[in-house]
Amino acid sequence: MENGKEFLHNYIKKHGLKKSAQRDKILDIFLSVGGHLSVDNLTEIVKEKHPEIGYSTIYRSLYLMQKAGIAERVELGDGITRYENMLGNKRHYHFVCQQCGKLIEFYDPLIESKIKISAAEADFSIERYRLDAFGVCSECRKKNNHSPKTKNSEG
């Protein structure tokens, strides 16, 4: 985890920015919590420990962490921007449940090699890519089947 701080400090130095103790605290929490955090999620967690840190500081820190390659934006089409930790995080893709918002991570090396082949064919140099598939998770499908609505259906 100390790699994360080093990573950010190198980025800050390279870009002539100032170090910030608050930003370091935010980074620590972001890296230790993991998962896919919205700014609101992270704000809640940070404020429990450090009530003096404000939303805009957290927002700006996340933006900087994204620029530094520590965090990556995850857009799931629900208008909420989430961030996930990219350090030590293996490449993965997402199945996104559109009913409950659950994220299931998956990885298949075949997908990766196919994308590389397609990029080579298009003479395209990929810097990064993401793959999110949207649908309904098994729990939500079960719930849907047991919903009272089905009682009224005739036929």
Q: Which residues bind Zn ion (CB under 5 A)?
A: 84, 97, 99-100, 102, 105, 137, 140
Q: How far is the CB of 144 from Zn ion (least distance, A)?
A: 10
The nearest distance, CB 40 to Zn ion, in angstroms, is 18
| Closer CB to Zn ion, 100 or 126, in the complex | 100
Beta bridge partners of 104: 95
Q: For residue 138, what are its two tokens?
A: 């098994």
Instruction: Give yes or no for a contact between 40 and 60, defined as CB atoms under 8 angstroms apart.
Output: no
133, 93 contact by CB (below 8 A): yes
At 123, give phi and psi (nearest 5°): 55, 45
Angstrom distance (rounded) from CA 41 to CA 127:
28
Min. distance of Cβ 60 from Zn ion in angstroms?
Answer: 23
Nearby residues of 47 by Cβ (< 8 Å), 6 or more positions away? 53
Residue type, 52: E
Closer by beta carbon to Zn ion, 53 or else 137: 137
Of residues 54 and 101, the one with the C-beta less far from Zn ion: 101
Nearer to Zn ion, 37 or 84 (CB): 84
Least Å distance, CB 99 to Zn ion, is 5
